[in-house]
Amino acid sequence: MFRPLPVAPLLMALWLTAPGLRAQTFNDAELQALDTRLFEVVFNRCELERLDDLLHPELEFLHDQGGRQDRAAFEQAVRKNLCSGQGDKALRRLVPGSLENHLLRDQGRIYGLIQSGRHVFSTRAADGGERPPQGQARFVNTWLLGPEGWRLYRVLSFDHQPI
């Protein structure tokens, strides 16, 4: 005679033996916060002490006009070109609605994120006034999730055009 197995105990056993799967969920706001931390905090406000928490040791940055940079060259360029405190300050703004997040999984476990979108660039003058956007571009950022959290691993910055 066929006797169905009780489903509830089986589901409970699966739930208890897969804590990593249970805990691995990210909503869009959490993932968008990565973009905000990178661009608003580091690029726009120049809180450079936060760079170490964001960048993977093997960061690679590919730019359609500026070439390829490793982590050391990227950090140096940010300090020299974006956050030197001299002249107008470059600003980056995400185009609303353009950010896309695609989680990367290995056998169901989240290990990374591909984040893509469009952004515009303007400048803030020494008097604090922000000028209208002068340029636009697209980006693809690959983030890896490790014990220390999300780290920026690969960047593609391309399709730079004037507005």
Going from the N-terminus, what domains does the chain have, and what CATH number goes with each?
A: 26-162 (3.10.450.50)
pLDDT, tens digit, 9 for 90 and up, residues 68-123: 999 999 999 999 989 988 888 999 999 999 999 999 999 999 999 999 999 999 99
pTM for the whole structure: 0.82
Whole-number Å distance between alpha carbons of 86 and 105:
43
pLDDT of residue 22: 40
Residue 78: CB atoms within 10 Å: 19
Copy the structure tokens of residue 1. 């005679």
Tell me the percentage of the chain whose pLDDT exceeds 90. Answer: 76
Whole-number Å distance between alpha carbons of 138 and 19:
37
Smallest Cα–Cα separation from 153: which of 80, 54, 81?
A: 54
Residue found under tokens 């300050």: 89
- In this prediction, residues 133-152 reach a mean pLDDT of 98
Averaged confidence pLDDT in the chain: 88
Residues facing 21 on adjacent strands? none
pLDDT, tens digit, 9 for 90 and up, residues 55-82: 999 999 999 999 999 999 999 999 998 9
* Alpha-carbon torsion (44, 48, 52, 53), positive or negative: negative
pLDDT, tens digit, 9 for 90 and up, residues 3-33: 554 544 444 444 444 444 445 789 989 999 9
